[in-house]
Chain A
């Protein structure tokens, strides 16, 4: 659960946008981690210990949220009052769902056939697809501020990441 009082972008001194400097995120995250390390608070008061622990936890959550493009887009939309993955919204563009079904079918068949090259090419294809949606998201969220189109793109990216993760898992199980 994200802490509603902390804005992760502010926490890591980043502009609130999709295209962020990942290196700055890493650097600022490590700064907070080392500043809030328990070793520094051995002789501190209970309140200080608690505060540093909370900060470290929030920083972990924030880092993981912003590091991943799909969760970063979802978080940005949340800041704009939009829940991209609401349970009651199951409508997706038909062509995307057909594509999604095909990827799932390929994955399933390749898994059963223990076909490593097909699984690997599927992962490459999905990564390319994810990359192009990320480019689109940067344009929609940062430049055009088209939150409706960005919500759809975010939903697509979450789907693609899921198939990709499942394909990677299938590869690991074969190796």
Chain B
């Protein structure tokens, strides 16, 4: 199966690989995994006081499509609000990367990682308010 040029580009030059300080109250972490292929994905977002994502980093162990999906979303996330981030659909990721049907689950993984990271930052913010 051939990867699309966009997948290859992200796979060979992944953007925003790494991590942020997980103890920072403005950093949300989302971790998800797909047992079918053994992929594991960690996405971290840094949100400013206006609810806008300033930075995003990822670390993914998996196939090219999983790496490309997470690399792409880190680019998309910067500058968006957490609500906008939450609304990103896996179909948009799959379409942008021209993922074949057997690799759609990689985009599902990326969408779920965003949702998990947003949920984490919201939980942190709620905890901050209640203190």
Contact = CB atoms under 8 A, between A and B. Distances in A.
Interface of A: 84-85, 87-88, 90-92, 94, 96-98, 100-101, 104, 108, 154-156, 158-159, 162-163, 166
Nearest to B106: A87
B79 interface: no
14 contacts: A87-B104, A90-B113, A92-B32, A96-B33, A97-B32, A101-B31, A101-B40, A104-B40, A155-B35, A158-B36, A158-B38, A159-B33, A159-B40, A162-B35
A87 B32 contact: no
B31 A158 contact: no
Contacts of B38: 158-159, 162-163, 166
B40 A84 contact: no
Interface of B: 31-38, 40, 42, 59, 61, 104-105, 108-109, 112-113
A87 B40 contact: no
Interface residue SS majority, chain B: mixed
Interface residue SS majority, chain A: helix
Contact of A91 (B40, B59, B104, B112): B112
Contacts of B37: 162
Contacts of B105: 87-88
A94 B31 contact: yes
- The 6 A-B pairs with the shortest beta carbon distances in the complex, nearest first, are A162-B38, A87-B105, A104-B61, A90-B32, A97-B31, A158-B35
Contacts of A166: 38
Given A101-B59, A101-B61, A87 B42 contact: no
Nearest to B105: A87
Contacts of A84: 35
Contacts of A98: 31
Contacts of A159: 33, 35, 38, 40
A37 to B, nearest CB: 34
Contacts of A97: 31-33, 40, 42
A137 B31 CA distance: 24
A146 B35 CA distance: 20
A163 B109 CA distance: 18
Contacts of B104: 87
Nearest to A166: B38
